[in-house]
Amino acid sequence: MQYPFSQTKSISEINFRNDYKKKEGGVIFEGVKVFSATKARDREGLGGNVTRWLRGNPDCEVIDKIVTQSSDAEFHCLTITLFYKEKPSATA
């Protein structure tokens, strides 16, 4: 799978809670896509980046999402985290 946006972080950079990993003994998600921006212009375009990724990956089903805002005296960061799994292929 390609990660076309510079905002992407590897799965190893994210700490997961166990309740997101497993449900009733099975894995409920297979991947994570993180979109993050600190500059105002980049934050304004973050939704468009998410939309383009979703349209470019129609085989992915979003299981959960987390929107996080963090800031200090100088910077404001907006992060959108998507938990997804591959859609089951249709069998005829």
In order of 38, 39, 70, 76, 77, the CA distances from 73 in angstroms are 13, 14, 11, 8, 12
Answer whether residue 15 shows pLDDT above 60: no
pLDDT > 70: percent of the chain:
67
| pLDDT, the chain, mean | 78
DSSP string, 23-72: ETTEES-SEEEEEEE-SHHHHHTHHHHHHHHHHH-TTEEEEEEEEEEEE-
Answer whether residue 37 shows pLDDT above 70: yes
